[in-house]
């Protein structure tokens, strides 16, 4: 019924503009003649304004129904004072102000709706507009909806992510992007309204308040509220919110939906399985094999691991300059994909290759196959091809803390030392050290073991995020922001690369998402010794390494150039950024750093 009224308003408005505009101005202080015949007194000058407010009113009522805000509607039905609608403009104003009184349970987002007013060139209609606009929904016109989704689906997760992270500082950032989004959206409707197509009524209105961002913001708020509820042990509320999150997530597209899905699942796990979930640890059969496969897909589809390998290799190569015997200890051997490139670079260095020894450390395989030896054999074959003297040793260890220095230095050390020059040792850890933080004292022990080997260089690659905060809510917030950005980058990479690609690219992306989803699950759902994904930012690692007696080694510009070149080769690579910060290199997506490679050596003062 309301819509008809709006249609009438529009129809009469456009008609008026055509023929009878001049006549109206003279009558009764400019009251519109046709509407007056229906019983509604409204000034022609107010027409556009009232039309807009009616639209807002409809949005407010429509969206509150969608949010199951039964309280609001029943309030309107029973407690509301019914105003005389004949003075249409004041009626609409009062109804709108009534909508503000019972404000929605979620706190209003920090965005100011000022951008909205820029478009319509209407006189600012007063403050009651402000909070109402936050609940607007997508209008019925399917064309508008398609436009909204089509134009900027990728911006939604980015903005939503930022909202979570900052507080007020971010609100300056978001309105301009909202502005841009609204600018784009409104460019089409005004043209359609000029065609005076009154049949497609909402599309013809100059009031297009399309917003997928709104549901995105609500989704983020729901996630935060759920995390808070979990922290306060309010299981009922958390349960309800998890369900709401799942529903809201379906209204989103792309990265945001997937991230929300994983977080919702992790929260559900946390709620319904309080005892440590065994299959989130590294112990089961399926997990280990599946994990390796996922790792492989993650390696192929996005540049993070390649970046890690290339920058670490460059640092090791430079540290080994001039050494005739080198020994590399790899804390996470897996498939050994980092080492062919290093072997090749050593083979080509001026002065010829050194004699190379590799010690690989890996977790125990559930089916007792000797994966480490397989990898070693393959590398030996490769080294043989390019004529580099190569020796390999594999170590199976459930945790790095189980290692002792004498194991790693090996039997050769004692005989050879007297004859030839000592080995130059490099220790390499890619996404391994953070696991040690789950056990008290484990990291200190491992760092002590490393020190005992007297390495020339220790390369550490870690996620650039603090997912090891004191409170659950802190960790949740950080993780939400971090993984939103990661998923964004996956989205950007694949979509740019594959206009026609099916199968391969998407499968890689999907598998990489599962890989990240496991991490999310671990951060959110596990506690204590099971929570192994205890990422910490570079600043925190600096403190830890400093305490253990290491000092940073700056990673040179060669690594920077090579990394930049590598990223340029990835389709969709314009979102990736390599940055140098105090001698370490970080790879990030747009403005957010995601992983950091840093290099260390034993502090000279401590020797």
Partner 1 sequence: MYNKTPGWLPRFASATAEGSMLPEEVGEEEGEEEEEGRKGRRRTGFSINDNVDLLAEILGRLDGRSLGVAGCVCRLWSAVGRKDSVWEAVCHRHAAGGGGATRSVVAALGGYRRLYRLCIGPALDRLAGSDGAGLSLSLSLSLSLFSIDCYERLGGRQQQQQQSASLLFLCKPVDVS
Q: Tell me which residues touch partner 1 (CB under 8 A).
A: 296, 299-301, 303, 310, 313, 336-337, 340-341, 343-345, 347-348, 350, 352, 374, 377-379, 381-382, 385-387, 497-505, 508, 561-562, 564-566, 568-571, 573-574
Cβ-based nearer residue to partner 1, 96 or 563: 563
CB of 428 to partner 1, least distance (A): 16
Cβ-based nearer residue to partner 1, 37 or 569: 569
CB of 375 to partner 1, least distance (A): 8
SS3 293: helix
Cβ-based nearer residue to partner 1, 67 or 497: 497
Angle at Cα 338 formed by Cα 311 and Cα 568, nearest 5°? 50
CB of 385 to partner 1, least distance (A): 5
Instruction: Quote the DSSP letter at residue 123.
Output: P
The beta-strand segments (E) located in 418-563 are: 424-430, 457-463, 550-553
CB of 372 to partner 1, least distance (A): 12
List all residues 6 or more positions away from 87 whose beta carbon is below 8 Å from its beta carbon.
Answer: 41, 42
Cβ-based nearer residue to partner 1, 340 or 556: 340
Would you call 359 exposed, middle or buried from its count of C-beta atoms within 10 A (0-12, 13-18, 19+)? Answer: buried
Cβ-based nearer residue to partner 1, 95 or 383: 383
Cβ-based nearer residue to partner 1, 278 or 590: 590
Residue with tokens 């009626």: 91
CB of 546 to partner 1, least distance (A): 32
Long-range own/partner contacts, residues 315-318 (CB < 8 A, 24 or more apart): 315/457, 315/459, 315/553, 315/555, 315/556, 315/559, 315/597, 315/599, 316/342, 316/426, 316/428, 316/457, 316/459, 317/342, 317/345, 317/346, 317/349, 318/556, 318/558
CB of 390 to partner 1, least distance (A): 13
CB of 491 to partner 1, least distance (A): 15
What would the two tokens of residue 18 be?
């055509």
Backbone angles phi, psi at 326, to 5 degrees: -130, 150
Among residues 325, 398, 391, which one has the least CA distance to residue 361? Answer: 398
CB of 480 to partner 1, least distance (A): 28
Cβ-based nearer residue to partner 1, 90 or 373: 373
Among residues 25, 49, 50, 48, which one has the least CA distance to residue 40? Answer: 50
CB of 311 to partner 1, least distance (A): 12
Cβ-based nearer residue to partner 1, 151 or 571: 571
Cβ-based nearer residue to partner 1, 35 or 559: 559
Distance of CA 278 to the CA centre of its chain: 27
Cβ-based nearer residue to partner 1, 184 or 378: 378
Backbone angles phi, psi at 450, to 5 degrees: -60, -45
Cβ-based nearer residue to partner 1, 93 or 508: 508
SS3 207: coil
SS3 404: coil
Rg (CA), the chain: 31
Cβ-based nearer residue to partner 1, 8 or 365: 365
Cβ-based nearer residue to partner 1, 111 or 308: 308
Beta bridge partners of 593: 588
Q: In whole angstroms, what is the distance from residue 318 CA to residue 458 CA?
A: 12
Contact in structure between 588 and 594 (CB atoms under 8 Å): yes
SS3 592: strand
CB of 50 to partner 1, least distance (A): 49
CB of 584 to partner 1, least distance (A): 20
CB of 511 to partner 1, least distance (A): 12
CB of 463 to partner 1, least distance (A): 21
Contact in structure between 325 and 354 (CB atoms under 8 Å): yes
Q: In whole angstroms, what is the distance from residue 160 CA to residue 277 CA?
A: 30
Listed in sequence order, the DSSP H helices in 83-154 are 88-100, 114-120, 129-133, 142-151
* Helix H or strand E encompassing 26: helix 21-26
CB of 376 to partner 1, least distance (A): 10
Give rounded-to-5 percent helix, strand, coil for the chain.
60, 10, 30
Cβ-based nearer residue to partner 1, 106 or 497: 497
SS3 393: strand
């Amino acid at each position: 019924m309301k819509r008809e009224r709006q249609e009438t308003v529009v129809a009469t408005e456009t008609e008026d503009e055509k023929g009878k505009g001049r006549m109206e101005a003279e009558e009764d202080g400019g009251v519109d003649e046709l509407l007056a015949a229906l019983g509604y007194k409204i000034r022609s000058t107010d027409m556009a304004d009232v039309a807009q407010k009616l639209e807002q009113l409809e949005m407010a009522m429509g969206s509150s129904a969608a949010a199951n805000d039964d309280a609001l509607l029943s309030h309107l039905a029973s407690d509301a004072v019914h105003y005389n609608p004949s003075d249409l403009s004041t009626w609409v104003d009062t109804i709108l102000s009534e909508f503000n009184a019972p404000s929605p349970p979620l706190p209003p987002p920090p965005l100011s709706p000022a951008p909205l007013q820029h478009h319509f060139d209407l006189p600012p209609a007063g403050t009651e507009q402000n909070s109402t606009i936050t609940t607007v929904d997508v209008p019925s016109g399917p064309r508008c909806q398609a436009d909204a989704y089509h134009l900027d689906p990728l911006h939604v997760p980015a903005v939503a992510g930022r909202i979570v992270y900052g507080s007020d500082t971010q609100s300056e950032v978001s309105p301009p992007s909202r502005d841009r989004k609204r600018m784009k959206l409104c460019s089409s409707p005004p043209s359609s309204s000029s065609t005076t197509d009154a049949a497609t009524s909402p599309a013809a209105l100059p009031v297009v308040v399309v917003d997928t961002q709104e549901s995105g913001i609500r989704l983020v708020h729901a996630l935060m509220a759920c995390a808070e509820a979990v922290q306060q042990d309010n299981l009922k509320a958390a349960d309800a919110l998890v369900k709401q999150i799942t529903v809201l997530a379906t209204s989103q597209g792309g990265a945001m939906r997937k991230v929300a899905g994983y977080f919702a699942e992790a929260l559900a796990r946390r709620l319904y399985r309080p005892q440590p979930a065994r299959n989130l640890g590294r112990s089961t059969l399926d997990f280990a094999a599946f994990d390796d496969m996922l790792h492989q897909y993650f390696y192929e589809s996005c540049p993070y691991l390649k970046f890690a390998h290339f920058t670490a290799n460059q640092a090791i190569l430079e540290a080994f300059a001039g050494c005739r015997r080198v020994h590399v200890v790899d804390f996470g051997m897996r498939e050994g994909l980092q080492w062919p490139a290093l072997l090749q670079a050593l083979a080509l260095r001026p002065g010829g290759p050194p004699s190379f020894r590799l010690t690989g450390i890996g977790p125990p395989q559930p089916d007792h196959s000797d994966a480490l030896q397989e990898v070693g054999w393959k590398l030996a074959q490769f080294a043989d091809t390019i004529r580099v003297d190569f020796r390999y040793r594999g170590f199976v260890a459930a945790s790095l803390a189980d290692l002792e220095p004498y194991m790693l230095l090996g039997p050769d050390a004692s005989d050879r030392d007297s004859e030839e020059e000592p080995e130059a040792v490099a220790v390499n850890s890619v996404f391994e050290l953070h696991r040690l933080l789950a056990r008290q004292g484990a990291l200190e022990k491992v760092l002590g073991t490393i020190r005992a080997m007297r390495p020339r260089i220790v390369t550490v690659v870690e996620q650039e995020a603090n997912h090891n905060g004191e409170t659950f809510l802190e960790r949740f917030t950080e993780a939400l922001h971090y993984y939103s950005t990661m998923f964004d980058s996956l989205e950007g990479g694949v979509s740019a690369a594959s206009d026609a690609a099916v199968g391969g690219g998407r499968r890689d992306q999907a598998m990489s998402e599962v890989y990240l989803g496991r991490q999310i699950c671990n951060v959110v759902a596990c506690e204590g010794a099971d929570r192994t994904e205890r990422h910490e930012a570079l600043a925190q690692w600096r403190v830890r390494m400093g305490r253990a007696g290491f000092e940073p080694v700056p990673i040179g510009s060669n690594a920077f150039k090579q990394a930049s070149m590598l990223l340029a080769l990835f389709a969709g690579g314009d979102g990736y950024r390599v940055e140098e910060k105090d001698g370490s290199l970080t790879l990030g997506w747009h403005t957010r750093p995601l992983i950091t490679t840093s290099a260390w050596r034993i502090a000279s003062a401590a020797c």
